[in-house]
Amino acid sequence: MEKNGRLQTESQTESQTESQHEDDGRGKWSGNLDFLLSCVGYAVSITNIWRFPYLCYKNGGGAFLIPYVIFLVICVLPLIFIEYALGQFSSSGVLTVWKISPLLKGIGYGTLLASAIYCTYVNVIISWVLYFLYQSFTSVLPWSHCNNEWNTINCHDVHNHSSGIQNGTVYDSSFGIQNGTLTSNATKKTASEEFWTHKVLKITDGIENIGGIRLELLICLFIAWLIVFLCLCKGIKSSGKVVYVTVTFPYIVLLIFLVRAVTLPGAIDGIKFMFIPKWNKLLSSQVWGEAALQIFFSTAVGWGGYITFASFNRFNHNLYREAILVPFINGGTSILAGFIAFCILGYMANVKGMQVAEVVDQGPGLAFVAYPEAISTFPVSPLWAVLFFLMMLTLGIDTQFGTIETVHSALVDEYPKLLRNRKTLFMTTICCVGFLSGIPYVMNGGIYILQTVDWYVGLIAPMIAAIMECILIGWIY
């Protein structure tokens, strides 16, 4: 009787606790699939498309995959479970959750600040995607040839090996002739590269020369923030439904590109480059360090998004499935995207008569130079371009959902009396501030600022936050 009474009391206590969490005014996911897809969308981002293939190429192909998978299993998987459990148990955002140790609440503020800065420049990348998407709705892709007003005499058209006239100047695909001066092959740039630098960015020669505002990119930035606002204005109830489209669509496009990529001439060279490891690279600390940085950045550990998403779960939700699925889906997506990228890079090397190692560029270059150049060679290339940049758009928007919801929920939980009944107005304020903060990035020299911020905020800050989380929970709490 005593045992039954104790069990009944514990059951009542659990029921009361769950009821309190249900009535906390924060809202809950409509279903478990909403939560899973939102976490996948948050983790799988544009970085899976361009940063992972570049780092894999730079660090010895298969030799990079080994530490990448090791860090995924022994570091990221348990960290995601910790963040899930912490958010679900506390039903709190990244600020109020640290009431478990008020002395170290600075972790929450650091995470919040990093997420706020991150969302300002991710939307700039989305604005680039929107601009490319707009330019794709044409019969002939503008980055597929050198006969545009922004092209220079050094433009090298890899698809047309005959001479031509460009802007009234004799143009040859192997050498450029202007005013009787012969330019060397070393200064040649592809049509897609000149489109990126001279048309999209109109880039300056350095960060010290910031230039003016790119009006077209400013308009695209506004549209990007408008899309984010419309998807998040109703909170997780609206974003939880949008992810059914934005998460599944990229995988459909990736599978289409996979079928196309493996049939390209020279694709096997890229595949060999990716999977045949250079074993001596494993002796380099740089390979292990960059693998750790990439897996932390790619899976979004330490950003606070998982804590935020899990805080909207039912108190007794079984989160083991998501804690295992999300990191492996993310890692698998990176490897799939890398496989496709190296197939395309092998094809580009075949077309140019170069080594695969000479084709890849770092940072945005892979997504906005190499991919468009390869797509321009496909049959019905505008269709492929539209599909690719729609995929990039959905990947970026998914990540923004989680990042902005992290900032929004953290501040609402911290100041409930002021903000909880003004969620839509507060979301409007966040989007307006984010838009204004993104203006420096869409100036002529804005990409220099973006790459600097991306390195110090995007790569280093989350890893420090994750380490501090482990110390706090494991040795203090």
List the binding residues.
41, 43-44, 48, 298, 330, 395, 398
Provide the 8-state DSSP code for 151.
Answer: -
Enumerate residues 6+ apart whose C-beta is below 8 A from 274: 56, 57, 61, 62, 338, 339, 342
- Residue 353 backbone phi and psi in degrees, to 5: 70, 35
Strands (E), 335-450: none
- Positive or negative torsion for Cα 110, 116, 120, 123: positive
- Residue 10 backbone phi and psi in degrees, to 5: -65, -40
Picking from 32, 74, 44, 103, the residue whose alpha carbon sits closest to that of residue 312 is 32
H/E stretch holding 406 reads helix 381-414
Per the annotation, binding residues for Na(+) are 41, 43-44, 48, 298, 330, 395, 398
User: What is d(CA 442, CA 434) in angstroms, rounded to the nearest whole number?
Assistant: 13
- The DSSP line for 220-252 is HHHHHHHHHHHHHTTTHHHHHHHHHHHTHHHHH
Is the CB of residue 393 less than 8 Å from the CB of residue 133? yes
User: What is d(CA 49, CA 55) in angstroms, rounded to the nearest whole number?
Assistant: 11
The amino acid that residue 460 corresponds to is: I
User: What is d(CA 284, CA 443) in angstroms, rounded to the nearest whole number?
Assistant: 38
User: What is d(CA 405, CA 301) in angstroms, rounded to the nearest whole number?
Assistant: 15
Is the CB of residue 231 less than 8 Å from the CB of residue 239? yes
